[in-house]
Chains A and B, each alone.
Chain A
């Protein structure tokens, strides 16, 4: 109501009240958003709502679904395999978010602060590209190559260990249930390092070099400069990297599918693979939909928390600068 009156008042003051009116910037922006909104609705929202609907049914994928209410969710609570897959997810968060972020930070600082200064920017750029290469490789390709490397009998890792006299260290890296999860984690660390490294190196570009010079003049060593300047200055990037990598870890699928298919004996099962096998292999579509709904809600919640923390960190940083 208020808007209508306001519009009318403004229109009355114009020289050509009945002519075509130029849309205000905010209105024209809305049009640009339209394709994205439609695509988002079609690709994300509608399938999510349909998936949620299916999760309240017992269904084999064809025929008529049978409404079962919350039965799938109740079953989920008591499903040891589901909870085991979530425990493995926490391991994947360590492998795909915590460890790569820590290693990426140190490597980025070393490349930026040491390699670029002493060996040249080109060498630093080449090394950065090398670290980033696993991110470019399709995970299916990387997974197959790693399954060759980690093969028990003629894998190159075991062959290498034997060649250097460490034959007793040879293992069935992906077939031993006590080792398989750690082997997959190691592969994922290799896959992930490039992403934080690139983001951190970009972040380091905007740190005022005078801070480092002043610290150096005051006699601060590399580690002290890293700890007291680099880390606090690139806190927003750290927050972004941790959020993105944690989400990637929670929904990891390809690597597990290619390397172990959740085995041996479920030792590397993760929720997304568990959902996939329940949905497509066991054709328990309703139950599979319930698993993926829970997973989506969880990832959404974590993303919101991550974004909130990030915003707070940015606000704090701006406050400090102001």
Chain B
């Protein structure tokens, strides 16, 4: 006969087993909606807002795809950037992987996934469908990754449909109000900033708590750098010395600009949104930032404005946009390739350009909006001279946080330029992948 304790133990075991079985059944049911591989469904994930240039273009591409593939349904799931960024490895490693997904480009993101074998090598499709002919070398840099997950060479793991680059946004009304001419050279830019400070206006919109401040710094360094400098820093093709003339000039000049009042010390804790809004509200006459602001400025800025490349620099921040990647476990890869092909068509690319995006394969003459035309022409000029230098936080995982934190210290004077550069060197050396 069983004792009471044994009976209780048996009941506990039975209940535990029942609970576990229940959980397994539930998880099995949850996974039943995964891609079936029936060539009748394309499961697509991306994180572009529906009103953004890319969002509008992808929606048009979905309609086009469905028209070209009668009987095939596109199951689109809108995801958040952070959501995909933080969970991609787990999702792609499971049977729930979509057929096509938008993913962030760079060594620490797409590079890591490719290194772990989670992405499909698109090489054969790229050649067969002629995608390589449509993408410039600079844009394609972020599409290819070697066995160590380092961009620039190796197999094709992603295809970008758009590009992005940084530029100087000028509030022409404010320049006119204070009788200051729009600068064409770097010296004219500093002279204009001096003139604004004398009128009591802080010339540069800035955000120390997010990427804007570090982009000013990286642009200053780029103005003294060349392609081999960028390749050393971003592609580890040489030794990066943060005390070299380019980085030293950048740190000294940035600190000097804060001292002179070109950049407000009060922007140490502000975010990118604050910088953009202060420019939109006409509080700051100049903002240096990326093409991702363009569409918003077009719709929200109530004054006459203009943009141009950073004066006196062959290089600027920029790259191909986020990538279409096809997960290794995707069920309907052929459909995914067809969709990518449609997004690279002239029709979708021209639409993207008209909505304020930077298309990679548009017919510039077909883009009608004059500002969008200028945006694309500037990009083409940059692309033709191999001027895209990526972003300063790309080379090392977590370098973004280091740059934010250290640049804040530089702004407040808690760190001198030399100490600032040493701190960057330490974090960079610690994080650079061993090859």
- Which A residues contact B (CB, under 8 angstroms)? 3-4, 7, 21, 23-24, 27, 30-31, 34-35, 38, 60-63, 151-153, 172, 174-177, 180, 260-266, 277-278, 280-284
Contact = CB atoms under 8 A, between A and B. Distances in A.
Contacts of B208: 175, 263-264
B398 A172 contact: no
24 contacts: A3-B3, A4-B3, A24-B4, A27-B8, A31-B15, A63-B116, A152-B264, A152-B267, A152-B269, A152-B270, A172-B266, A172-B269, A175-B267, A177-B408, A262-B405, A264-B208, A264-B269, A264-B409, A264-B412, A265-B408, A265-B414, A282-B397, A282-B398, A283-B112
Contacts of B108: 283
Contact of B269 (A21, A34, A263, A283): A263
Which 4 pairs from chain A and chain B are nearest by CB? A282-B398, A175-B269, A175-B268, A265-B409
A151 B266 CA distance: 9
Contact of A284 (B8, B115, B116, B397): B397
A260 B409 contact: no
Interface of B: 3-5, 8, 11-12, 15-16, 19, 86, 89, 93, 108, 112-113, 115-116, 118, 208-209, 264-270, 274, 278, 283, 397-398, 400-401, 404-406, 408-409, 411-412, 414-415, 431
Nearest to B268: A175
Given A31-B11, A153-B278, A284 B112 contact: no
Contacts of B89: 61-62
Contacts of A35: 19
A149 to B, nearest CB: 13
Contacts of B5: 3
Q: For the complex, would chain B's binding face be called helix, strand, loop or mixed by DSSP majority?
A: helix
Contacts of B113: 62
A263 B265 contact: no
A30 B5 CA distance: 11
Given A172-B269, A175-B269, A177-B412, A263 B397 contact: no
Contacts of B11: 31
Given A34-B15, A60-B397, A152-B266, 13 more contacts: A62-B89, A62-B116, A152-B270, A153-B266, A175-B265, A175-B270, A263-B268, A264-B208, A264-B268, A265-B408, A277-B401, A281-B398, A282-B398
A30 B12 CA distance: 9
Which interface residue of B12, B268, B270, B397 has the most chain A CB atoms within 10 A?
B268
Looking at chain A's contact residues, is the secondary structure mostly helix, strand, loop, or mixed?
loop
A36 to B, nearest CB: 12
Contact of B209 (A30, A62, A261, A266): A261
B19 A176 contact: no
A266 B266 CA distance: 17
A265 B397 contact: no
Nearest to A27: B8
Q: Which among B8, B265, B269, B408 has the greatest number of chain A C-beta atoms within 10 A?
A: B269
Contact of A60 (B112, B266, B274): B112
A277 B404 CA distance: 13
Looking at A153, A180, A265, the one whose CB has the most chain B CB atoms below 10 A away is A265
Contacts of A153: 264, 266, 278, 283
A151 B270 contact: yes
Contact of B401 (A3, A34, A151, A281): A281
Contacts of B12: 30, 34
Given A262-B405, A263-B408, A281-B398, A172 B414 contact: no
Contacts of B268: 172, 175-177, 263-264
